[in-house]
Structures are given as structure tokens and as C-alpha cells.
Amino acid sequence: MTLWLRVRRARTCVAVALALAASLLLTGDLALPIPSLRVGSTLALPFAFLLPLAVATVVAYALGAGDPRAEAVACRPMRLLDTAYALAVAALALGACGLLWAADVSDTAPAAGRNALGYVGLTLLGRRLVGPHAAPILPVGFVLLTAMFGVRPGVERDWWAWPLAGASDPVAWLFAGAFLLLGAAAALAGTGADR
């Protein structure tokens, strides 16, 4: 397992999950202007909602770091281990954000942690849908899509634009959790072609 953890870049993944928390402290309430085409203006997208994309990217990187042909004939349940590994990294990111929230030093941390769950789920889905090399494009593209089209005049945001929701929105947590479970299911049900 030591070798497997090394191949899966465990140190890098832990560092990125913790760096997410550190970055949240540094960036605070910083928001980046992004076109919101339905509002007809620019939307101030909290940087905290983008930062968890790093966690999703490093998970995709780690899962694709092994030798697919050798792992295809391994006696250990690689698919299960990989899925558990992705969930663990997402949970670590959520935990790190949760600590910030508990310490009352970051208001956006819970939402960032929630988004980390959803983005990792989308990445796992992406591995099935568009292949391991392009998997992180799914969460990145989804965030852009929600920023550009998820907000309408007179409506704070559409129901499906969960990455833009505040931490207190239960539906957004539901979406993020559902995407994580869906991604995990897709990863477990993989045929091997996605490795």
C-alpha cells in the first residue's frame, strides 16, 4: 500500500487539500469578475468557489498517475481503492475547511468545502464521460457555466447553480453530495477503459 499511496501522490493530495484551507485564509472575500450573460453584467465570483477546483484537479492527476495495464491485473480491488482515495481527499478538503469555519476565521470555508465535494464528484464522473486526461474539464466547465448562465435578473441564482450558493443552502449541499456519490458510483462501475 505504501507504493500505491506514493503512486497516487498522497503527499501532493494532502498538501493541496491543506493549501485550499490556507488559500481561503489568504483570499478572504476576494471575488473575481466573470461574465454573467443572463444578467447582462459581470458577476463577482468568490475566489473561494474556484479554489476547490485545485482539489478536483489533483485527484484526477493522482488517479491517472499509475500504470493502467499493471493495475488492470492487480489482485487488490484497485477501483474500490481509487474511489475510496478520491472520497478521502474530498473529505480531507471538507475537514480542513470545516476547521476554518469552526475557528470562525473564514465565512466562505464551508461553501468551499462543499464545492470540493461536488467538484471531486464531477471529476470522477468526468473520468467516465470524457476520459481520464480531460476529467477536470467537467468541474471547471461547470463552474464557468453556472457563473455565465446560473444567475438571472431578479433571481439570486438558478436552482442548479449550486456552486454559487452560500454555505447555508441545504439544496446546494444535496447537489454536491449527490454528485460525489454519482461520481463514486461511476468510478466503481468503470469498465477499465477509463483507466
Partner 1 sequence: MAVQTILRISPAAWLGPILALVAMGYARIIYPATYDPYPLALTSVAGWTVSVIGPTVAAFGAWEGGRLHRAGWWGLPHARPAVVVAGASLAPVLVAGLGALGAAIAIRFADAGVLAWPDLRVVGVETCVVTAQALLGFAIGLRLRPVVAVPAAFLLMFTWMALPAAILPVWLDFPTGAWAGCCAIDSDLAPRAVVSAITVVVGFLVAALVLLRQPFARIQFGLASLAAALGIATGLWLVRGMDSNPTVPRDPSVLVCAPGPPEVCVWPEHRSRLATAARVVAKVAPTWLAAGVPLPARFSEEWSEVLPSSTGRVTIRSDNEEEIVLSLARGVLPPVPPCALRSEVPYFGFEARDYVIAWLVDVAGVPPDRYASTHVNGDKILGTVAAVRALPPDEQRAWLAGNLAAMRACGVAPPLEPAG
Interaction site with partner 1 (CB under 8 A): 30-37, 39-42, 44, 47, 50, 53-54, 57-58, 60-61, 64, 132-137, 140, 148
Q: Which is nearer to partner 1, 105 or 134 (CB)?
A: 134
Instruction: Check: CB of residue 24 under 8 Å from CB of residue 109.
Output: yes
Helix pair angle (109-129, 10-27), 10° resolution: 140
Q: Where are the alpha helices (DSSP H) in 28-75?
A: 47-50, 53-63, 68-72
Grid cell in block for residue 109? 470555508
Q: Which is nearer to partner 1, 106 or 123 (CB)?
A: 123
> By C-beta, is 90 or 135 nearer to partner 1?
135
Cβ closer to partner 1: 137 or 181? 137
Cell of 140: 471547471
What nine digits make up the cell of 143?
A: 463552474
CB of 12 to partner 1, least distance (A): 10
Least distance (Å) between residue 139 CB and partner 1: 8
